[in-house]
Amino acid sequence: MKKRRLGKSDLEVSALGLGCMGMSFSYGQPKDKGEMIALLREAVGRGVTFFDTAEVYGPYTNEELVGEGLQPVRGQVKIATKFGFRIGAPGGGTAWERLDSRPEHIREVADASLKRLRTDVIDLFYQHRVDPAVPIEDVAGAVKVLIEAGKVRHFGLSEAGVETIRRAHAVHPVTAVQSEYSLWWRRPEEEVMPVLKELGIGFVPYSPLGRGFLAGKMDEHTRFGKDDFRSGLPRFAPEALKANQKLIELLGAMAKKRNATPAQIALAWLLEKEPWIVPIPGTTKLERLEENLGAAEIELTRGDLEEIENAAAQVAVEGQRYPEHLEQLTGR
């Protein structure tokens, strides 16, 4: 597996990481623990060195899974986790709607995450969502203290807007920004990515396969269970799935030309955008892991990229990615 450096930092990781959320959260019932530990270790054996989790995934159970699974190979991998929510707090709503990035809470989360991850240092510690009640300077300062204490190595932001990125970076260098980015969600190209390039910050796209849609296995007849996060997302409504098949046709045509799969082309396109981009596709199946990792070996030509861009420009993706109350938590 080829390696990449996140921005100007010294954090070097595999060109493709592994998003671990779906192993225990959001996409149906939690998967078998033993099978997921085996998958984590298989990923390491195939060259993956970058693993993404968060305390809110479960909550807590995903960090515990990742910690146990990677403990025997901890020296070979980098683990990213996140803070920023008040889990189990009274007041209604879900954990996703109860933001809490107070410095004292950040310290509490770091200590708890270290225990669950069975490690003495967090390689990359993201603010999961920007908390408007806490100045980003205070957040960056709190993480800076954790870095100076040796509990954290690198500071990251997730779904942050350009003003927040600049202000945080002025207090302590931001190593990476994580946001959704793929052929069916390209808004980061408008403002965020130019700022990352200017400041030397790495970019970690989550949902690089559009939560599975870009793999080409869904259509308007696809249904999701109530415990599947996608069941409440506008972009996964039957009418949107039907309308967005044009994007799959585009990927399918290029995949056929390159003897690849639509998912591999979607990931290869991301890898060709910038050398400081490290996508983190998630999966719970070995065959999907193998397929995704194969994307790192595909080198799209300038002609291929132009063909994809020209065709994608003709496709108007339909459906919002989040319900309004969750969309309000992004891009601040």
Domain locations along the chain:
3-209+272-298
* 51-65 mean pLDDT: 97
Taking the mean position of all CA atoms in its chain, how far away is CA 226? 23
Residue 98 has pLDDT above 70, yes or no: yes
Residue 97 has pLDDT above 80, yes or no: no
Residue 223 has pLDDT above 80, yes or no: yes
Place of tokens 């339909």: 318
pLDDT in the model for residue 224 = 94
Helix (H) or strand (E) holding 18: strand 18-19
* 296-308 mean pLDDT: 94
Report the length, in residues, of the chain: 332
Q: What angle do CA 107, 112, 113 make, to 5 degrees?
A: 95
CB 86 within 8 A of CB 94: no
pLDDT in the model for residue 332 = 85
Place of tokens 């959704």: 180
Residue 36 has pLDDT above 90, yes or no: yes
DSSP 32: P
CB 228 within 8 A of CB 27: yes
pLDDT in the model for residue 259 = 96
pLDDT in the model for residue 124 = 99
pLDDT in the model for residue 325 = 83
Residue 96 has pLDDT above 80, yes or no: no
Cis peptide, bond prior to residue 59, ω within 30 of zero: yes
CA pair distance 138, 144, nearest whole angstrom: 10
Residue 301 has pLDDT above 60, yes or no: yes
pLDDT in the model for residue 328 = 82
pLDDT in the model for residue 324 = 84
Residue 58 has pLDDT above 90, yes or no: yes
Residue 89 has pLDDT above 80, yes or no: no
Quote the pTM value: 0.96
Average of per-residue pLDDT values in the chain: 95
Percent of the chain scored above 90 by pLDDT? 90
Q: How do 202-206 and 12-14 pair as beta strands? A: unpaired
Confidence of residue 164 (pLDDT cuts 50, 70, 90): very high
Which amino acid is present at 215?
A
Quickly count: other Cβ atoms within 10 Å of residue 141's Cβ.
15
Q: Which two tokens stand for residue 309?
A: 């861009």
CATH fold of 3-209+272-298, please? TIM Barrel (3.20.20)
Confidence of residue 79 (pLDDT cuts 50, 70, 90): very high
The dihedral of CA 89, 94, 98, 99: what is its sign? Answer: positive
Write out the catalytic residue numbers: 57
Close Cβ partners of 72 (under 8 Å, ≥ 6 residues apart) = 41
pLDDT in the model for residue 327 = 85
pLDDT in the model for residue 28 = 87
Residue 257 has pLDDT above 90, yes or no: yes
Confidence of residue 92 (pLDDT cuts 50, 70, 90): low
CB 241 within 8 A of CB 213: yes
* 248-274 mean pLDDT: 96
* 54-66 mean pLDDT: 97
